[in-house]
């Protein structure tokens, strides 16, 4: 492993493991450009100085579809940067990672599968987070494209006994409005920010959203080789969390 800082968090570890299992080198688009080993953004657009530092009590458990951890556009990475207790597992239909099962059974955590309620049996669906005394919420996020996530949800029997946390349409539209988001789809880090909000951690939620916005800007500017304005509104919003 030549990436010096590659194992600093769960998604970075998963990425390194997944790359090691590749029979041929994974070629991300634009991969000839050199990337920062820590934040995996193209050198010159590095995000490392912009990682927010916030306290978090909730935990995140990312179930990542095959190459998700390796994609430069993956936003699960950002969650692991912000939420200290983030774990990440590569999803498999046939094999169950014993560490994942142990995490789900750990009484310190109160797990929720985060997924649209219309896909689950109604008795499993909840829209609020109510954590029992002495436990911390653990949000299980399916980090994948939408068709992949639906498949993961259907074919993970070890999740079937857990409540399904579904975002209410009002909450979703309020969130979209606040973020001036036009498209329907939320990325994984936006879903995680909503979970933090529901868990009563609005400051961490805002930090994650502000970090995502800076990431998107760095990522797109790198792709188009555009200069960055580190004093613009997007960066300003993140500064309070640095
Ligand atoms: Zn970096």
Name the pTM for this structure: 0.92
Tell me the pLDDT band of 38, cut-offs 50, 70 and 90.
confident
SS3 161: coil
| pLDDT tier at 1, thresholds 50, 70, 90 | very low
Which of 227, 232, 234 is CA-nearest to residue 211? 234
Task: Tell me the torsion sign for CA atoms 242, 51, 30, 145.
Answer: negative
Going from the Cα of 47 to the center of ligand 1, the distance in angstroms, rounded, reads 5
How many angstroms does the Cα of residue 81 sit away from the middle of ligand 1? 12
> Which residues have a Cβ under 8 Å from the Cβ of 205 and sit 6 or more positions away?
193, 194, 196, 197
More confident residue, 222 or 28: 222
In terms of pLDDT, which residue wins out, 166 or 28? 166
Which pair of structure tokens corresponds to residue 211?
């970090």
CA of residue 176 to ligand 1 center, whole Å: 29
What pLDDT digit, counting tens, does each position of 148-171 carry? 999 999 999 999 999 999 999 999
Whole-number Å distance, alpha carbon 35 to ligand 1 midpoint, is 8
Centroid of ligand 1 to alpha carbon of 42 (angstroms): 8
Residues lying with their CB under 5 A of ligand 1, a single-atom ion: 36, 38-39, 46, 48
C-alpha Rg value of the chain to the nearest Å? 18
pLDDT digits 0-9 by tens, 71-112: 989 999 999 999 999 999 999 999 989 999 999 999 999 999
Ligand 1 centroid to Cα of residue 171, in Å, is: 33
CA of 68 to the centre of ligand 1 (A): 19
Give the Å distance between the CA of 45 and the centre of ligand 1: 8
CA of 46 to the centre of ligand 1 (A): 4
Distance (angstroms) between ligand 1 centre and the Cα of 48 equals 4
Query: For 181-195, how does the pLDDT look when each residue is reduced to its tens digit (9 = 90+)?
Result: 777 789 999 999 999
Say whether pLDDT at 30 is over 60. Answer: no
Give residue 75 CA to ligand 1 midpoint distance, Å. Answer: 15
């Amino acid at each position: 492993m030549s990436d010096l800082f590659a194992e600093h968090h769960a998604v970075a570890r998963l990425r390194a493991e997944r790359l090691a299992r590749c029979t041929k080198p994974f070629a991300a688009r634009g991969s000839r450009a050199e990337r920062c080993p820590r934040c995996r953004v193209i050198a010159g657009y590095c995000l490392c100085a912009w990682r927010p530092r916030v306290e978090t009590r909730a935990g995140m458990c990312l179930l990542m579809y095959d190459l998700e951890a390796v994609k430069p556009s993956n936003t699960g990475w950002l969650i692991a940067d912000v939420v200290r207790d983030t774990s990440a597992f590569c999803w498999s239909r046939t094999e169950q990672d014993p560490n994942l099962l142990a995490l789900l059974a750990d009484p310190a955590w109160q797990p929720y599968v985060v997924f649209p309620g219309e896909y689950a049996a109604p008795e499993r669906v909840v829209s609020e987070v109510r954590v029992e005394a002495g436990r911390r919420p653990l949000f299980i996020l399916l980090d994948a494209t939408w068709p992949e996530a639906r498949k993961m949800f259907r074919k993970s029997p070890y999740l079937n006994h857990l409540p399904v946390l579904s975002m209410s349409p009002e909450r979703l539209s309020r969130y979209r409005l606040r973020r001036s988001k036009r498209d329907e789809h939320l990325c994984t880090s936006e879903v995680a920010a909503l979970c933090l909000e529901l868990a009563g951690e609005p400051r961490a939620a805002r930090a994650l959203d502000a970090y995502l916005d800076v990431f998107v800007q760095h990522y797109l500017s790198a792709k188009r080789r555009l200069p960055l304005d580190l004093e613009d509104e997007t960066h300003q919003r993140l500064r309070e969390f640095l």
